């Protein structure tokens, strides 16, 4: 399967309009991740991972020192001995590959976090609110851009390098007026000599689409040279296209090809990347679900670290999910949709070796609606403080524009 690069929004309209001419074929891979990049000034790198499906923060970062915890969980604790972290917390055993990062201060967590979303516990609404970054507890249909794009709009000296979307999943967090584009490893974009001439001739007198037609032609040439840019030859690009390497599908410790591609861009002019890892919904057999997904998450982070080399020291990775899960497991060895959860942070720029946040306790009276972990912090605040520390953005801008309605509170000090 031939990989392809699709350009920013204008070129995507051209791509759809002339699909019959260029012979595009996009494979239906609903569990493929989405990767998006944008160029930004400065040397710091930001990677935002959206963990779709509602990761169970109580299982990933276990509050084993809370006396009530053991009474809520039985089957989900049979995956193996937890890994001691700090204070009352211990990590899920399948996070073992990341523990060297924890020891070096390059891995951290924040617990009892959530977006403003409450009560309905819908994946679709929860993800929309997470990626829109609004302060409302219902999707705001008037907001057409994502918080990451609003940050880019506010950054002076922004230049478009390239942005990439992998698979058919749309990253709403990056949508907006700031320039970006998408990379799809499961798409074919092939232009024959005749197709090139026809495309160029069709739009030669159209000032809007003429440049986009030329860009589409150039992008096909760029993808032909892309394997060398990844440093893995054609085999490396084919590995990125293989369905078996979708997040959560691999069972070995091989590098994640999507993260490898991201690193190849971040070592250049790209400064910001975002992609999603799906499959965290764990209503049943949660131990197996988390083993698969945590394995994918570990491979993603370790691939970024290994491939970024010295750039890792300037990198912040933030992994966020739409909401947490119930404190008590259900009758099928899983957990249902909840409220408060956990987020993960990694990178050489992180002040790691710490679990951030105020723990609310798990006594029934302390739970949200007597069923969920009570949120004590807004997950958006951690992203906002990372942006302020990395890019020097004004606190008022972050609270009013990037994350409307956010009270950032006191700086948690997540950056080294």
Count CB-CB contacts under 10 A for residue 17: 13
Split at pLDDT 50, 70, 90, the class of 179 is: confident
Query: What is this structure's pTM?
Result: 0.78
Q: What percent of the chain has pLDDT over 90?
A: 54
pLDDT at 229 over 90: no
Q: What is the mean predicted confidence (pLDDT) over 128-134?
A: 94
Q: What is the mean predicted confidence (pLDDT) over 388-401?
A: 94
The residue with greater pLDDT, 99 or 76, is 99
- HSE, side-chain direction, 13 A CA sphere, residue 77: 17
How far apart (Å, rounded) are the C-alpha atoms in residues 247 and 225? 25
What's the mean per-residue pLDDT of the chain?
78
pLDDT at 319 over 80: yes
pLDDT of residue 375: 98
Split at pLDDT 50, 70, 90, the class of 62 is: very high
pLDDT at 169 over 60: yes
Asked if residues 35 and 261 have their Cβ atoms less than 8 Å apart, the reply is yes
pLDDT of residue 59: 96
The residue with greater pLDDT, 219 or 405, is 405
pLDDT at 156 over 90: no
The residue with greater pLDDT, 20 or 139, is 139
pLDDT of residue 34: 54
Split at pLDDT 50, 70, 90, the class of 116 is: very high
Radius of gyration of the chain (CA): 21
What contacts 24+ positions apart, CB below 8 Å, involve 248-253? 248/31, 248/277, 248/278, 248/279, 248/292, 248/293, 248/295, 248/296, 249/31, 249/292, 249/296, 250/295, 250/296, 250/299, 251/292, 251/295, 253/97, 253/299
Name which of 78-87, 103-112, 143-152, 377-386 the model is least confident about: 78-87
Q: What is the mean predicted confidence (pLDDT) over 147-175?
A: 69
pLDDT of residue 137: 79
User: What are 29-53's pLDDT values in tens digits?
Assistant: 233 345 676 776 678 999 999 999 9
Q: Of 6-15, 60-69, 177-186, which one has max mean pLDDT?
A: 60-69
Split at pLDDT 50, 70, 90, the class of 349 is: very high
**Coil vs helix vs strand at 135:** coil
Q: What is the mean predicted confidence (pLDDT) over 153-175?
A: 63
Q: Of 149-153, 162-166, 231-235, which one has max mean pLDDT?
A: 149-153
Split at pLDDT 50, 70, 90, the class of 195 is: low
Asked if residues 212 and 7 have their Cβ atoms less than 8 Å apart, the reply is yes
pLDDT at 322 over 60: yes
pLDDT of residue 142: 80
User: What are 264-307's pLDDT values in tens digits?
Assistant: 889 988 888 988 999 999 999 999 999 999 999 999 999 999 99
Name which of 80-84, 111-115, 175-179, 182-186 the model is least confident about: 182-186
pLDDT of residue 244: 31
């Amino acid at each position: 399967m031939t990989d392809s690069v699709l350009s920013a929004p204008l070129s995507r309209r051209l791509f759809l309009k002339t699909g019959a001419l260029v012979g595009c074929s996009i494979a239906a891979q609903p569990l493929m991740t989405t990767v998006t990049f944008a160029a930004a000034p400065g040397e710091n790198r930001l990677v935002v991972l959206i963990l779709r499906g509602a990761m169970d923060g109580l299982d990933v970062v276990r509050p084993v020192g809370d006396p009530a915890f053991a009474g809520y969980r039985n089957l989900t604790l049979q995956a193996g001995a937890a890994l001691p972290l700090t204070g009352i917390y211990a990590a899920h055993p399948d996070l073992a590959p990341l523990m060297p990062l924890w020891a070096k201060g390059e891995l951290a967590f924040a617990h009892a976090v959530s977006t403003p979303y409450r009560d309905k516990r819908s994946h679709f609404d929860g993800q929309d609110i997470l990626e829109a970054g609004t302060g409302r507890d219902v999707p705001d249909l008037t907001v057409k851009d994502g918080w990451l794009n609003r940050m880019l709009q506010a950054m002076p000296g922004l230049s478009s390098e390239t942005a990439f979307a992998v698979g058919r999943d749309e990253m709403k967090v990056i949508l907006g007026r700031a320039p970006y584009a998408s990379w799809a490893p499961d798409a074919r974009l092939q232009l024959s000599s005749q197709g090139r001439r026809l495309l160029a001739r069709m739009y030669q007198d159209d000032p809007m689409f003429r440049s986009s037609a030329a860009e589409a032609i150039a992008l096909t040439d760029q993808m032909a040279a892309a394997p060398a840019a990844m440093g893995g030859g054609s085999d490396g690009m084919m590995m990125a296209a293989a369905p078996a390497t979708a997040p959560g599908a691999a069972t070995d410790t091989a590098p994640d090809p999507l993260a490898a591609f991201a690193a190849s861009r971040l070592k250049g002019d790209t400064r910001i990347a975002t992609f999603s890892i799906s499959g965290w919904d764990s209503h049943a057999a949660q131990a197996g679900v988390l083993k698969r997904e945590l394995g994918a998450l570990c491979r993603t982070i370790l691939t970024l670290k290994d491939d970024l080399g010295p750039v890792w020291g300037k990198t912040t990775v933030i992994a966020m999910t739409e909401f947490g899960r119930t404190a008590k497991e259900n009758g099928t060895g899983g957990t249902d949709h909840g409220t408060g959860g956990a987020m993960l942070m990694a990178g050489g720029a992180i002040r790691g070796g710490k679990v951030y946040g105020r723990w609310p306790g798990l006594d029934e009276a302390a739970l949200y609606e007597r069923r969920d972990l009570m949120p004590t912090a807004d997950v958006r605040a951690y992203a906002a403080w990372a942006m302020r520390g990395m890019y020097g953005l004004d606190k008022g801008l972050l609270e009013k524009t990037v994350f409307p309605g956010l009270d950032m509170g006191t700086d948690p000090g997540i950056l080294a």
